Amino acid sequence: MKNKFWCQLLIALSLAPTLSMAEPIPAAAKLDVSFELPTIDTSMYARPYVAVWVENSERKSVKTVELWVGKDEWLKDLRSWWRKVGRYDRELVDAVTSATRPAGEYRFVWDGTTDSGEPLEQGNYTVHIEVVREHGGRNYLRQKITLGDSNASYQLEPTEETGEITMSYVVK
């Protein structure tokens, strides 16, 4: 009986398609992000809180790229990021948080690694951008991207709280 089981298992394994391991993105690859926080003419202007994070195809956060917030008590105002990432990882929050920024143009580069520094595998991901301003608006943007072995560019339309956002995935 045991020999029959092993024979059937060997036959099944030999007929199964071979599993291929996903390759990591190229070491020199990066995602270059440029965006604007527009000047908003209002008597109660407050600098916005900004969270930028990346999720894999299973909708699991793999990297918080940017987190601009004034005080810890305001982290929860970034509702989508807080529910997915922030409330679960205090060390991450401490590691990536920086001050809010005034209206202006900004650029940052992500190297394609996870929060723990490991390179991501090639595949499909989603970049999330959440911008919230006290006494102002709330914008939540998503852009599907492909991280692979070829260059790609993405552009998001301006919103109430953001100017145009461009993302360029560059493989050197």
Burial category of 61 from C-beta neighbours within 10 Å (exposed 0-12, middle 13-18, buried 19 and up): buried
**Mean pLDDT over residues 114-119, rounded?**
93
pLDDT higher than threshold 80 for residue 89: no
What pLDDT does 15 receive?
A: 56
Q: In Å, how far are 49, 53, 107, 167 from 57, measured between CA atoms? A: 26, 13, 25, 19
The residue among 122, 127, 123 whose CA lies nearest residue 156 is: 127
* Between residues 84 and 117, the one the model is more confident about: 117
Lowest mean per-residue pLDDT among 84-88, 90-94, 117-121: 90-94
78-64-58 Cα angle (round to 5): 95
CA dist 62 → 38, 49, 70, 119 (Å): 29, 20, 24, 10
Range of the domain at 68: 2-170
Give dist(CA 64, CA 55) in Å, integer: 9
pLDDT at 14 over 70: no
Per the DSSP assignment, residues forming a β-bridge with 30 are 170
pLDDT in the model for residue 91: 78
CA distance 53 to 93: 12
Q: Domain tally for the chain? A: 1
**Is a pLDDT exceeding 90 seen at residue 32?**
yes
Q: What is the CATH number of the domain that holds 41?
A: 2.60.40.4070
On whether the CB atoms of residues 163 and 35 are closer than 8 A, the answer is yes
Confidence bin at 8 (pLDDT 50/70/90): low
Per-residue model confidence (pLDDT) at position 125: 97
Q: Which pTM was predicted? A: 0.83
pLDDT of residue 123: 96
Residue 115 in tokens = 């929060």
Residue 18 in this model has a pLDDT that exceeds 50: no
- Is 88:53 a contact under the CB 8 Å cutoff? no
β-pairing verdict for 49-55 and 61-68: antiparallel
Mean pLDDT over each residue of the chain, to the nearest integer: 86
Q: How far is CA 147 from the centre of its chain?
A: 12
Please report the sign of the dihedral spanned by the C-alpha atoms of residue 133, residue 80, residue 52, residue 68: positive
Predicted pLDDT at 70: 75
